[in-house]
Amino acid sequence: MSRDLATLPQITAAGLAALTPEVRDFLEGGAGRERTLARNTAAFDDWQLRPRLMRGLGEPSLATRFMGVDLDLPLLAGPLGADRLFHPDGQQAVARAAATAGIASMAPEAGSFSLEDLCAAAPAAVRFGQLHPTGSRDSFLRMLGRFEDAGFDAIVVTCDCPVAGWRERNRRNGFIPPQEVVGGNYPNDSETFQNLFSAGGTGWDWVTLGRAMRHTSLPWLAKGIMTEPDAQAALDAGAAAIGVSNHGGRQLDDLPAALNALPAIAAAVGDHAQISFDGGVRRGSDVVKALALGADVVILGRLIFHGLAAAGESGVLAVLELLREEISTTLTLLGHGGVADLDEQAVENRGV
């Protein structure tokens, strides 16, 4: 690994430097005054680690099983659309790097490449497909069927995006991702992703979503959950997993940090479903804290695309390998034999 890309902050700096100001704002920006965005990262500072020493443990195990698939790391590469804005290979590079690292990647509905092209780019990869409950039920079911026919392992339903958030950086820049970088799955002028999205998802509810998801045998994750009642509603609709997330602060401002919502949702869900988490993760120790507070896996968003912008596939792989090393080091120093035995005893809130 290059000394210039030897740490995650270096990769982030290199990735952001490679982008135009408009694309950088599109990636890094949040909704409104960006208070949710700031809270996401700041929340990790409120939680401290509680090490247990001299426990006679060997190298910690980072492997886990999530939604029926085995992962070498408790990580998923998240679905950011318009991916060719960050590198010509976009999500194809992400899928290949994720497969090399032994984790799953998510195919974005509004991606630059079709889901079939992503499958061809990394045929042995574990793949999750992303869907938005927007537009017509027929369009939703067509995409759902394509994911199943292509051999995807699970579906991620992004529930917190009935309309785009109020993103003022994009408004100031007059920036709208062009059709050629978001239309990989909707190449026809008669059914572009923008048209589907502009139709909105406000007519969808949990009952409608639950009925639609009965058309697939694939397990699905309801992503964007920030309250216990919504977690229960998602389970009642048939979700196999709950995604605790505030969309990286990109949708609704003035929400709590995703990390602070995690413990209560994990307690409410209990053993009824697995939990993914995203929001503000910037280091391996952040991953460990999220796992200790109830997550089974962590979805990586901006970090993945920092690596992609910095050095394509090798940049994404560098991010994943650095996280692997830091998670392992943190667990060893924390006195834990692996991600499976992390619980709330490993952390404490410094404000309590």
pLDDT digits (tens, 9 = 90+) for 118-155: 999 899 888 999 999 988 899 899 999 999 999 999 99
Per-residue pLDDT, 189: 53
Residue 29 belongs to a domain: yes
Per-residue pLDDT, 352: 55
Q: Is 324 annotated as a binding residue?
A: no
Q: What is the mean pLDDT of residues 320-335?
A: 97
Q: Find the Cα–Cα–Cα–Cα dihedral 133, 258, 300, 36, rounded to 10°.
A: 90
Please give the angle made by the CA atoms of 26, 31 and 37, to the nearest 5 degrees. Answer: 90
Residue 285 belongs to a domain: yes
Mean pLDDT of all residues belonging to the chain: 94
Catalytic residue among 87, 132, 215, 247: 247
Q: Is 132 annotated as a binding residue?
A: no
Q: Is 80 annotated as a binding residue?
A: yes
Question: Which CATH number covers residue 71?
Answer: 3.20.20.70
Residue 39 belongs to a domain: yes
Residue 239 belongs to a domain: yes
* Residue pLDDT, tens place only, 165-189: 999 999 999 999 999 999 999 887 5
Split at pLDDT 50, 70, 90, the class of 250 is very high
E strand spans, 187-261: 220-225, 241-244
Residue 229 belongs to a domain: yes
Per-residue pLDDT, 198: 57
E strand spans, the chain: 47-49, 64-66, 69-71, 75-77, 104-107, 127-131, 154-158, 220-225, 241-244, 274-277, 297-300, 347-349
Structural domain tally of the chain? 1
Per-residue pLDDT, 195: 62
Between the alpha carbon of residue 223 and those of residues 94, 156, 235, 241, the distances in Å are 20, 7, 12, 9
Expressed as residue numbers, the domain containing 300 is 8-340
Residue 350 belongs to a domain: no
Q: Is 158 annotated as a binding residue?
A: yes
* Residue pLDDT, tens place only, 253-274: 999 999 999 999 999 999 999 9
Q: Is the pLDDT of residue 3 over 80?
A: no
Q: Are 70 and 281 in contact (CB under 8 A)?
A: no
Q: Check residues 190 and 24 and name the one with the higher pLDDT.
A: 24
In the annotation, is 336 catalytic?
no
Residue 310 belongs to a domain: yes
**Exposed (0-12), middle (13-18) or buried (19+): which is 291, by Cβ within 10 Å?**
buried
* Residue pLDDT, tens place only, 33-90: 999 999 999 999 999 999 999 888 889 999 999 999 999 999 999 998 999 999 999 9
Query: What pTM was estimated for this model as a whole?
Result: 0.95
Per-residue pLDDT, 193: 62
